[in-house]
Chains A and B, each alone.
Chain A
């Protein structure tokens, strides 16, 4: 059974810092890995999707890497802003049926 772990569970940083969120998964046979953002009381917004054949994806200040063999992914956020405050969720697709196994998330607070 696939299990996804995210470290740290919570993170508080001052504005402007670069930061890294970590995700690990137990079964390396995945189709893709996705990072989502969830604001309090809201739904999930897809940030980045990395296919199993890819090593990284970038979108603006966000960069996600994937090391499938070691079962790890990182989400790098450059020059953090208060608007980045949210919960970040990592999820892997390993079923082939577009179903995701989620980590419990990292709650990020960026203070001005």
Chain B
């Protein structure tokens, strides 16, 4: 298994440009989520999904869109990039509930985004 993969690894955008950060997992996990990591702020949840066709907002959703058409893929779209979106973005997946037990999460290697 490749686990959780993210592309690109690094991206530079100009203010106002749009782009899609890709995330894929090959573990047949139902739950997937996107976080951003900023110095002094820690990791914060952007959006998450509990299965194909189901998404919801996290703590910092503004400026981002997601969709989940398949179990494997969970892309994150920046509609009009702003310098405040300069960050490192991590995608994670999890099997979710197994009975009453929440399983561990698996993180991708991250995408470093610089918005000028």
Question: How many chain-B residues does the 8 Å CB contact rule pick out?
Answer: 28
Chain B hits for A34, CB < 8 A: 104-105
- Complex contact B94–A98 (CB within 8 A): yes
- Complex contact B31–A98 (CB within 8 A): yes
Closest Cβ of chain B to A28, distance in Å, is: 16
> Chain A contact residues: over half helix, strand or loop, or mixed?
strand
Closest Cβ of chain B to A35, distance in Å, is: 11
Number of A-B contacts (CB under 8 A): 65
Which residue of chain B is the closest to A1 with respect to CB atoms? B59
Which residue of chain B is the closest to A52 with respect to CB atoms? B102
Q: Give me the interface of B with A, judged by CB distance under 8 Å.
A: 31, 33, 35, 40-45, 48, 50, 56, 58, 90, 92, 94, 96-97, 101-110
Given A43-B107, A43-B109, are A98 and B102 neighbors across the interface (CB < 8 Å)?
yes
Per the bound structure, the CA–CA distance linking A44 and B109 in Å amounts to: 8
Other 14 A-B pairs with CB < 8 A, given A32-B102, A49-B104? A31-B101, A34-B104, A36-B107, A43-B108, A45-B107, A97-B31, A97-B56, A98-B31, A98-B50, A98-B96, A100-B45, A101-B45, A102-B42, A102-B43
Per the bound structure, the CA–CA distance linking A105 and B64 in Å amounts to: 25
Given A34-B105, A93-B102, are A104 and B94 neighbors across the interface (CB < 8 Å)?
no
Residue in A49, A97, A105 whose CB lies within 8 Å of B50: A97
Per the bound structure, the CA–CA distance linking A36 and B107 in Å amounts to: 10
- Complex contact A96–B105 (CB within 8 A): no
